[in-house]
């Protein structure tokens, strides 16, 4: 039985107040945090709602009909998201990932994509614009997203066996419809697709080899994610985590693989390739092999709070700042000083005495995105 929690977002309006320094600096003054990490990626949750109830993310017992989802006026508008994203781009952000909840449930999302596609980085390049989806409505949306300027897509799929997948999504959603969404994305012209599989030991780890076999040679990169202790409601415990190394060992028995170099510093997934040349797989091992030391990611929640870590228990209220008539330069300076004070490195101290039980009410993943 999952313990009923009071969701953190009830603290709405009580987010930390970002401070605007008296002396404003030029907005393209790149800032590193207290651990020397620059700000490069922004993840934006465009809705806290989802049509799935994945047991590791939005368990039914908590996210039921009484759950206090955000109202329309509490969400950042497309104009506010675009303004904030432009400000982040002037501060060195090069990549934006739209997420949720299920981002494709946000009405007219392709219009937001079109607005974001016009933003340029400090170097004058378009942003690397990407989106993570459960794939359920991708058949309907893929072509419009491509036309709007979305570069890349990641689709989540936790198994190929219908019974196991339905047990994970907990809403009886069939595998075939997600596979059809992936096909639709390919037909729309998306290349370099990625598929994310969260591995929960004892629940879907028997699907690892079938998934590897299915995507091997397809041009789609399958990535295995360790089940994480995000949020406060998914009943996480270490015994349900299958370390990436064990996943790699299992795959290696059937299809020999070897590790390869990261594409860039701070890449979340460790890359491996099949020795027979039939493609790549990835591992996101935030429990057993932490990567906080090169974490360059900031997150904006559905209602405009800036979170400095996936495991944070409070955010900085940029929505109020956006709606208070402050200039772009003032907001940019508030972001810079918030980032400069960042010390977050949760995965490195998970389980240590530094993380006290009273501190552990963390923000839900559906509210700030994965």
d(CA 313, CA 15): 10
227 binds ligand SAM (CB under 6 A): yes
Judged by beta carbon distances under 5 to 8 A according to partner kind, the member of ligand SAM, ligand SF4, none in contact with residue 165 is none
Q: Between 305 and 366, name the residue whose CB sits nearer to ligand SF4.
A: 366
Judged by beta carbon distances under 5 to 8 A according to partner kind, the member of ligand SF4, ligand SAM, none in contact with residue 292 is ligand SF4
221 binds ligand SAM (CB under 6 A): no
Tracing tokens 């998201």 back to the chain, one arrives at: 81
C-beta of residue 84 within 8 angstroms of C-beta of residue 322: yes
d(CA 309, CA 317): 15
C-beta of residue 259 within 8 angstroms of C-beta of residue 272: yes
Nearest residue to 160 via CA among 227, 214, 240, 224: 214
Task: Determine the 3-state secondary structure of 171 from DSSP.
Answer: coil
56 binds ligand SAM (CB under 6 A): yes
d(CA 40, CA 30): 10
Q: How many CA atoms lie within 13 A of 304 on its CB side?
A: 26
Phi/psi at 254 (nearest 5 deg)?
-95, -45
* DSSP β-bridge partners for residue 152: 130
Q: Between 90 and 244, name the residue whose CB sits nearer to ligand SAM.
A: 244
Closest distance of CB 282 from ligand SAM, Å: 12
Tell me which of 31, 55, 85, 132 binds ligand SAM, using CB under 6 A.
Answer: 132
55 binds ligand SAM (CB under 6 A): no
In sequence order, the 6+-apart residues with CB closer than 8 A to the CB of 65 are none
d(CA 214, CA 222): 10
Interacting residue ranges for ligand SF4, rule: CB under 6 A = 50, 52-54, 57-58, 100-102, 134, 156, 286, 291-292, 295, 297, 309-311, 344-347, 366
Phi/psi at 98 (nearest 5 deg)?
-90, 135
Q: Between 269 and 365, name the residue whose CB sits nearer to ligand SAM.
A: 365
Judged by beta carbon distances under 5 to 8 A according to partner kind, the member of ligand SAM, ligand SF4, none in contact with residue 47 is none
Tracing tokens 């409070």 back to the chain, one arrives at: 314
Q: Between 196 and 338, name the residue whose CB sits nearer to ligand SAM.
A: 196
d(CA 294, CA 128): 19
Site mask for ligand SAM (CB under 6 A), range 60-99, x = bound: ---------------------------------------x
Q: What angle do CA 66, 68, 71 make, to 5 degrees?
A: 130
Tell me which of 133, 233, 296, 333 binds ligand SAM, using CB under 6 A.
Answer: 133
Residues in 179-208 at the binding interface with ligand SAM, rule: CB under 6 A: 196, 198
Closest distance of CB 311 from ligand SF4, Å: 5
Residues in 240-299 at the binding interface with ligand SAM, rule: CB under 6 A: none
What's the token pair of residue 271?
């890359």
Tell me which of 39, 57, 168, 336 binds ligand SAM, using CB under 6 A.
Answer: 57
What does DSSP say about strands 152-156 and 128-133: parallel, antiparallel, or unpaired?
Answer: parallel
Q: Between 294 and 328, name the residue whose CB sits nearer to ligand SF4.
A: 294
Site mask for ligand SAM (CB under 6 A), range 139-158, x = bound: -----------------x--
* List of residues contacting ligand SAM (CB under 6 A): 50, 56-57, 99-100, 102, 132-134, 156, 196, 198, 225, 227-228, 230, 234, 365-366, 369-370
């Amino acid at each position: 039985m999952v313990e009923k929690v009071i969701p953190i977002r009830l603290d709405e309006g009580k987010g930390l107040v970002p401070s605007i320094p008296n002396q404003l600096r030029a907005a393209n003054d790149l800032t590193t945090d207290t651990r020397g990490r620059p700000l490069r990626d922004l993840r934006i949750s465009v809705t806290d709602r989802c049509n799935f109830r994945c047991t590791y993310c939005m368990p039914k017992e908590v996210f039921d009909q009484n759950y206090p989802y955000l109202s329309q006026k509490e969400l950042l508008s497309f104009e506010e998201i675009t303004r904030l994203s432009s400000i982040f781009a002037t501060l060195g952000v090069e990549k934006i990932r739209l997420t949720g909840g299920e981002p494709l449930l946000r009405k007219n999302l392709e219009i937001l994509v079109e607005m974001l596609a016009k933003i340029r980085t400090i170097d004058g390049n378009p942003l690397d614009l990407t989106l993570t989806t459960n794939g359920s409505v991708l058949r309907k949306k893929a072509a419009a997203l491509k036309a709007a300027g979305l570069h890349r897509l990641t689709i989540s799929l936790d198994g190929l066996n219908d019974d196991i997948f339905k047990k994970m999504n907990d809403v009886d959603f069939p595998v075939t419809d997600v596979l059809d969404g992936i096909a639709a994305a390919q037909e729309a012209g998306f290349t370099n697709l990625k598929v994310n599989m969260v591995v929960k030991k004892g629940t879907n780890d028997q699907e690892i080899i079938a998934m590897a076999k299915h995507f091997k040679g397809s041009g789609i990169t399958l990535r295995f994610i360790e089940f994480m202790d995000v949020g406060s409601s998914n009943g996480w415990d270490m015994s349900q985590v299958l370390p990436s190394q064990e996943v790699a060992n299992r795959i290696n028995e059937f299809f020999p693989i070897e590790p390869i170099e990261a594409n860039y510093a701070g890449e979340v997934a460790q890359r491996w390739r099949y020795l027979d040349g039939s493609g790549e797989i990835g591992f996101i091992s935030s429990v057993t092999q932490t990567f906080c030391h090169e974490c360059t990611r900031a997150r904006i929640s559905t209602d405009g709070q800036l979170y400095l870590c996936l495991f944070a228990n409070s955010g900085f209220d940029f929505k109020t700042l956006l709606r208070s008539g402050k200039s772009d330069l003032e907001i940019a300076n508030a972001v810079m000083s918030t980032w400069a004070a960042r010390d977050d490195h949760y995965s490195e101290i998970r389980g240590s005495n530094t993380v006290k039980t009273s501190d552990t009410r963390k923000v839900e993943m559906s509210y700030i995105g994965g």
